[in-house]
Each structure stands twice: as C-alpha cells, then as structure tokens.
Homo-oligomer: A and B are copies of this chain.
Amino acid sequence: MSFRVAVLGASGYAGGELIRLIDGHDGFDLVYMGAHSHAGSVLGDVHPQLKKPERPLGGIDAEIDADLVFLALPHGASAKVGFRLTERGLRVVDLGSDFRLDTPERFEEAYGEAHPLPDQLGRWVYGLPELFDCTGADRVASPGCYPTAVLLAIAPFLRKGLVSADGLVADCLSGVSGAGRSLRDEFMFGSVAEGVRAYGIAGHRHRPEIEMALDSLLGGRHRVTFTPHLVPMQRGLLATVTAAVVEDSDGIEDCLSLAYQDAPFVEVIDRPPQTRWVVGSNRALVAAFHDGHTGRLIAQCAIDNLLKGAAGQAVQAANLMVGYEETTGLPLDGLMP
C-alpha cells in the first residue's frame, strides 16, 4: 500500500528536498507538486538537481486529490490552505510556522498580528517526534530549524531538573539555506561569503516557538536568550545552549543517552558535533559538557537544517502519522566532504 502525497511549495529549498525524499520513499507516491510563482513551469526549472525534470508544477491548490500533503510555504501562506485540506479530510504536515504556536496570544507576540484561524492553534501536533508524540496524528506543524536543535540539546536536562530554567542562553549558527530561497540582498554571495553576523537579536520568531515547546513539555513559563547567527555555508545548523547546572547534578552524564536511547535519528556523542557530519542525513548529533569552572552546562546539537530541520523531519512525522516505521525513506548517512 502506498499513500498519495502532494507537495505545495515545491520550488523552495525545503520543497526540493521533500521531492527528493518522497521520490526515494517506498510508501509515498508523489502525485502533485504545486508552486506559487512557478506554477506552470516544470521541475527542472527550479530544481535542476532532481530527476525527471519534465514533471509539471501546478498551483497552490487546496482541492487537490491526495492522501497527505506537505506544505512548504512562506510564513502566513499555510493557514488557509492547510485548514481547508484538513477540512477535506486530508492529512497535512505544515513545514511553515502558521500552526506551530499554541495560543493566539503567543502567535501575536511572535508575529505581531492576529492569527486568521485562532481556533486551530493548539490543535496541531508539534512535529518533533523525539519530544512530542506524532503517532497517528492527522495534522502536524513541523518545527523550525532552530527550535529543533535547541530543544534536542537542552530539553532532556530541563526535564530532569539538572539545569536551571533561569538564564538559558542559546547561540545558534545556521547555513544560508535556512533563510529560504527568496531573493534578498543580504543573501547574495558577496554579502555572505567570508563573513559572520548575528541577526534577529532579541526578536527572532523562533524564540517564542522554543519557549512554547518548553512550556508544553515542562509546564511553567520559559525564557531563552536566543541569538541566531548566519555563517557562510549552505547547510547545517549548530545550537550551543548554556544553562546553570543545579547543585545536585546526579545523572547529568547519562541524561542525553537515556533520553535518546530509542530515537533512531539522534546520536549522542562525546565530542563537539560538527554540522558537516550530518549534511545529507536526517540525524541530529548531540553532546553536552559540564564546565566545572563556571558551573554551567554547554549542550550542543548539530543538524542539517533542510533535513532534520525541515524536510526530513516532516517525512519522519508523516511516517508516524500513517503508521510506517519512523525511519522509512530517510537517510542516516551523510555526505562528506
């Protein structure tokens, strides 16, 4: 048996990776690809790296015939089409941010505007399968790349009470593909190569998402000093999260290993993870170091922002939604160099 799946938002980077993964997935049949400004063109025009370049791209259409739909649309563009698809009874995985937050208040805090469908908030499963149960879900909001890495690194320690929730600092480094494929001066080669910079300081939209996930998992109200940085590489994301270790830190050494012992995509290592070790795979590498000198924990997570941080994680959730093995069609191996 195979599910008929569609990708809406086929022309972006995440869309391209979704198509590649679905093409190689034995249980998913790609029956429709839709794009906005590229509707009417063919796949090879936007993704010359993919096979069967003559396949046509349709529009962003909520009335398509499919069993499961991946949405890889810009912020704000998922809400209506996503809701309509669910109304029609289709399963939906939204890679965008429209259904990730849990309350209208949180959404407004993050995005500065009211949500068009506030009733939907809280009804979509947050699709980070290592921390939130996606099994059998029919609507999944797939996490952002930064929240994925930050949460995988630090949530187990917070859950066990091994670090303080006060003074959490998350400095994150991302390759440029994390910013999507839209044409902007700041993402030109001459604006990126041979330079690093922070952006969105104290105001990035992924902060409320991280805090929402921690609140959901652990209760209470979390606050994170979150500073994303752009580094001159295409793919890869590294989160470096520090937190004060509590006095009784028994169990801190084994915390990650225990947390992820059944997680096929999370590998706990004992040296600083490198993003190059995960490019091309759906793995997350996590490691943590207890700095006795300062009494802080330094926890890290490295992912491929387009796979475990986007398309791969979406397919992982979709596998669980329809009852497949979690790892079906997903690469554990990366490419190096």
Contact = CB atoms under 8 A, between A and B. Distances in A.
Interface of A: 13, 16-17, 20, 23-24, 47-51, 167, 169, 171, 173, 175-177, 181, 183-185, 187-199, 201-202, 207, 223-225, 227, 229, 231-236, 238, 240, 242, 244, 272-281, 289-294, 296, 298, 300, 302, 332-337
A272 to B, nearest CB: 4
Contact of A189 (B188, B236, B291, B300): B188
Number of copies: 4
A187 B185 contact: no
**Smallest CB-CB A-B distances: 9 pairs:** A195-B276, A49-B334, A202-B291, A171-B171, A190-B337, A49-B336, A197-B274, A189-B192, A51-B332
Contacts of A196: 173, 231, 233, 236, 238, 274-275
A223 B195 CA distance: 29
A193 B197 contact: no
Contacts of A183: 183-185, 188
Contacts of A13: 190, 336-337
A333 B20 contact: yes
B234 A233 contact: no
Contacts of A197: 238, 272-276, 302
Nearest to A24: B333
7 contacts: A48-B274, A48-B336, A173-B231, A177-B190, A190-B337, A195-B276, A202-B291
Given A240-B198, A296-B169, A49 B335 contact: yes
B169 A242 contact: yes
A299 to B, nearest CB: 10
Given A49-B278, A51-B332, A337-B194, A202 B298 contact: yes
A161 B323 CA distance: 58
Given A49-B278, A191-B276, A197-B275, 8 more contacts: A13-B190, A51-B332, A169-B296, A173-B173, A194-B275, A196-B275, A225-B298, A232-B232
B289 A202 contact: yes
B202 A189 contact: no
Contacts of A292: 202
A333 B48 contact: no
B227 A298 contact: yes
A194 B280 CA distance: 12
A198 B336 contact: no
A187 to B, nearest CB: 6
Contacts of A234: 189-190, 193-194, 337
Contacts of A279: 49, 194-195
Contacts of A233: 193-196, 231-232
Contact of A240 (B171, B274, B290): B171
Given A49-B333, A201-B289, A202-B293, A236 B298 contact: no
A189 B176 contact: yes
Contacts of A336: 13, 16, 47-49
Nearest to A274: B197
B277 A335 contact: no
